[in-house]
Amino acid sequence: MKRLANLLLVSLILALLTTSIASAADWKPTRDIEFVVPSAAGGGSDLNARTIADLARKYGLSPTPLMVVNKPGGSGAVAFSYVNTKKGDAHTLMVLHSGQAVGAYVNDWRVKTEDLTYIGTVAFDELTLGVRKDSPYKDIPSLIAAAKENPGKVTIGGSQRGNSDHLCFELMNKYTEGEFTYVMFNSSGEVMSAVLGGHVDVGIFNPTECIGQVEAGEIIPIVTFAAKRLGGVFADVPTFGELGYPEIQVTEVRAIAGPPDMPAEAVKFYEELLLKVTETEEWKRDYIQRNLLVDTYMNAADTQAYFEDMIDLNIRTFREVGYIK
């Protein structure tokens, strides 16, 4: 009798484990997924989210739609705080841009990147400086010379503070010995409007954010922050390293996060969704290749490890340039 009871107990445990595993494997969203962008519409993070949402819908990768919601403000702090209130919610995602991931610490936000749930990385991105077509600064030497001759007069527009754009500016001020002034906007779309309208002298952009204006001849890229030259319409644009400033190099990461304590089965579902999105021809051709991104997929664990190392490195750099003590 005792043996029979033990067998029944073992059978019950195995049944519960099997049910639990099947439940995790079969988890799917049951309502619309809120996909938060920590900046205004028109920037690289916005394009990233909308591309993922569109491809997920096109290929039926989720039974419910990913609804993109822009929550700009506080250089990303507004979105971070909002997603933090969704603890345990399996139906909320957020674009996790490396600049904002660093900014959470540089700007000492209440909600830090480590409070969120890493889900995956989908691409690496480069940065460039662009001027309007009638700018007096046709190359980076003339821009640096102006910043030395008229300290503080040359204005650089960037999206948010304490992020990659801001780091680019700080590195320029330190290593070129010119004195530029940083003007913060809520998105690269706003930066573009300011450059085209003559409100700032130069803008910091990902290729994603300015390629249309470059192709139209409205914006002239004069230098990149990449380690090597980019291709396409940026092929003739030098890097800071080529011009004698190897210290001025910044690369961004585009990833996705969820709220604190997102269930493991939901993380797994979204990992697989992102992987499938990045394997589509449209993603590779129309998003990665067209916008000169680096095609990179990492799962949740690898993304967390990468971001932790990257955040530490960038915080040290901000300290070295004197922005934080």
Query: Same domain, yes or no, for 144 and 214?
Result: yes
Residue 26 has a pLDDT of: 86
The boundaries of the domain holding residue 182 are: 128-234
Query: Same domain, yes or no, for 147 and 116?
Result: no
Q: What is the CATH number of the domain that holds 193?
A: 3.40.190.10
Residue 219, in any domain of the structure = yes
Query: Same domain, yes or no, for 259 and 117?
Result: yes
Q: Of 42, 87, 91, 301, which Cα lies nearest the Cα of 191?
A: 42
CA 90 to chain centre: 21
Query: Same domain, yes or no, for 258 and 225?
Result: no
Residue 23, in any domain of the structure = no
Half-sphere exposure of 263 (CA within 13 A, CB side): 13
pLDDT values of the chain reduced to their tens digit, one per residue, 325 residues: 555 445 444 454 444 444 444 444 589 999 999 999 999 898 889 999 999 999 999 999 999 999 999 999 998 999 999 999 999 999 999 999 998 999 999 999 999 999 999 999 999 999 999 999 999 999 999 999 999 999 999 999 998 888 999 999 999 999 999 999 999 998 888 999 999 999 999 999 999 899 999 999 999 999 999 999 999 999 999 999 999 999 999 999 999 999 999 999 999 999 999 999 999 999 999 999 999 999 999 999 999 999 999 999 999 989 988 888 7
Boundary of a domain, candidates 234, 259, 292: 234
Query: Same domain, yes or no, for 162 and 216?
Result: yes
Residue 47, in any domain of the structure = yes
Query: Same domain, yes or no, for 138 and 229?
Result: yes
Q: Of 100, 132, 128, 97, which Cα lies nearest the Cα of 205?
A: 128
Residue 324 has a pLDDT of: 86
Residue 55 has a pLDDT of: 98
Residue 315, in any domain of the structure = yes
Query: Same domain, yes or no, for 73 and 214?
Result: no
Q: What is the pTM of this model?
A: 0.81
Sign of CA dihedral 96, 98, 104, 107: negative
Query: Same domain, yes or no, for 74 and 93?
Result: yes
Residue 52, in any domain of the structure = yes
Query: Same domain, yes or no, for 88 and 161?
Result: no
Residue 220 has a pLDDT of: 98
Boundary of a domain, candidates 187, 206, 234: 234
Residue 161 has a pLDDT of: 86
Query: Same domain, yes or no, for 230 and 145?
Result: yes
Half-sphere exposure of 20 (CA within 13 A, CB side): 8
Residue 44, in any domain of the structure = yes
Query: Same domain, yes or no, for 189 and 210?
Result: yes
Query: How many domains are contained in the chain?
Result: 2
Query: Same domain, yes or no, for 132 and 187?
Result: yes
Residue 20 has a pLDDT of: 41
Q: What is the CATH number of the domain that holds 88?
A: 3.40.190.150
Quickly count: other Cβ atoms within 10 Å of residue 106's Cβ: 22
Boundary of a domain, candidates 234, 261, 280: 234
Q: CA-CA distance, 253 to 257, in Å (whole number)?
A: 12
